[in-house]
Structure 1
Amino acid sequence: MDTENPPLTPGYFDVPANMLATIVTCLEMRTRPAPRPNPPSDGLMVEPWPSPATDAYRALYRRVGEDWLWVSRAVMDDDKLEAIIRDPAVEIYAMTRDGERLGLLELDFREPGECELAFFGLDQSLIGSGAGRIMMNAAIDKAWEKPITRFWVHTCHLDHPAALAFYQRSGFAPYKRMVEICEDPRQTGKLRADAAAHFPVLQAE
């Protein structure tokens, strides 16, 4: 038995007010899926963003992820973050329009034979516009250009409610589910207090 992560038993479990509980779904594709057509681009492009400046990277990370409680890269030590985003096995792309960065795509090839879709996010103004399909098609193309046998991603119910279905339509199949407990970053000042209005902050009694 895994003593650090004992199996959950049926029932309800109280979560402290300063913590979050989320269901994480892991998905993978083992072969490249049939291509899906891009919608009209409306001036959007997916461009390589090699070795981005830390501040610029964090700004885009927050822009696309703060309302979904993305926090890991926002609070990571600079040295650790720079080691990741400057690693030649990590490819970073930005979705742009007229030079403005509106989407973040990060592919992690550090595990031999695999690619993790590490981050995939759009500015709120692009959600529902077809931009996600354009960026996903680019992600699939870039991932399967390499000699990989597995492309994988995980999402959770703090993400956009359409995210899981979008990944499945894109060719990813769910294979594992986990429960994650973490501190609420809005209560520690790591993210703005009004972020992720769809997931309310609980006040301790």
Structure 2
Amino acid sequence: MEEIVTYVEMTALSELRASPPANGVTLERVDGTSPLIRSVQARIGEPYAWASASRSDDDWAEWLSHPLRQYWFIKYETEIAGIADFELQPGGEVEITTFGLLPEYVGRGLGGYALTLVVRQAWEVEPVGAESVWRIWLHTSTLDHPNALANYERRGFRPFRTRVKQREDRRCRTWDESAGLPVFDSGDPTFAERADEHKAFRVLPDDL
């Protein structure tokens, strides 16, 4: 699949344009050993072909062992509504490597305030190799939620780079070993076309 990747940045906390508060939305720090990190990221990322939706056990072990990565659950009241993680980088930079809401919380007006909380928290981390954090950055893609880039720009992020790349369609992510056929996700826009090529298929439940 072709995608356009846009990299955005913020170089001062004063550039943050905060969203109005959304009642019940908070952040909760979580240890990298929590098994929920993997399941939450996979559920969020599967519709958008995120790498986290198809990482192997070894890839996850490497990802979660990074000593300079922090994990935060986005909570709605008492429930997990999404996740964010930061990677602290040398020279006072912080990359937001993951930000997203679970499918059942998308479209409920929570994303703007959740991002506001995440950005504020990113500015408050202990910097690496610098006296203070001076830059927060992340990237998004045309395969992400259609409102993703607009949400980042509304919060004050500025694009500084774009590139076009090809990405494997990870939404076709497993096989029916007995039939030797792929298990397709009905949320994939090429679902019907590719299913016809194989002549036989089964559909994953929408909530997986």
- What TM-score results when the alignment is normalised by the length of structure 2? 0.76
1:155-203 C-alpha deviation (Å, 9 max, x unpaired): 1111111111111111111111111112222345289622544x32453
Q: Distance in 1 between matches of 2:59 and 2:45?
A: 19
Task: Identify the residue that residue 51 of structure 1 maps to in structure 2.
Answer: 32
Q: 1:161 to 1:83 in 2, by over 3 A?
A: same
Task: Identify the residue that residue 44 of structure 2 maps to in structure 1.
Answer: 64
Aligned residues: 182
> What is the Cα deviation at residue 38 of structure 1?
3.4
Q: 1:21 to 1:88 in 2, by over 3 A?
A: same
> What is the Cα deviation at residue 97 of structure 1?
3.4
Letter in 2 for 1:50: D
1:68–1:196 contact (8 Å) kept in structure 2? no
Task: Identify the residue that residue 89 of structure 1 maps to in structure 2.
Answer: 68
Q: Distance in 2 between matches of 1:123 and 1:98?
A: 14
Question: Percentage identity across aligned positions?
Answer: 29
Task: Identify the residue that residue 200 of structure 1 maps to in structure 2.
Answer: 190
Task: Identify the residue that residue 152 of structure 2 maps to in structure 1.
Answer: 167
Task: Identify the residue that residue 184 of structure 1 maps to in structure 2.
Answer: 169
Bigger CA drift: 183-192 or 30-39? Answer: 183-192
Task: Trace 1:5-84 onto structure 2 (pairs within 5 A).
Answer: 20-32=1-13, 33-41=15-23, 43-54=24-35, 56-70=36-50, 72-84=51-63
1:22-63 C-alpha deviation (Å, 9 max, x unpaired): 11111111112245243332x332111112434x22210122
Q: Distance in 2 between matches of 1:111 and 1:195?
A: 42
Letter in 1 for 2:21: P
Select which of 110, 124, 136 maps to 1:145. 124
Over the residues paired in the alignment, what is the CA RMSD in angstroms? 2.5
Gap regions ≥5 residues in structure 2: 126-131, 176-181, 199-208
Question: Secondary structure at the residue paired with 1:183?
Answer: coil
Task: Trace 1:128-139 onto structure 2 (pairs within 5 A).
Answer: 128-139=107-118
Q: Distance in 2 between matches of 1:195 and 1:121?
A: 21
1:47–1:95 contact (8 Å) kept in structure 2? yes
Q: Distance in 1 between matches of 2:63 and 2:121?
A: 18
Higher relative contact order (CA 8 A, sep 6+): 1
2:17–2:156 contact (8 Å) kept in structure 1? no
Q: Distance in 2 between matches of 1:47 and 1:68?
A: 24
2:19–2:155 contact (8 Å) kept in structure 1? no
Select which of 137, 141, 145 maps to 1:156. 141
- What TM-score results when the alignment is normalised by the length of structure 1? 0.77
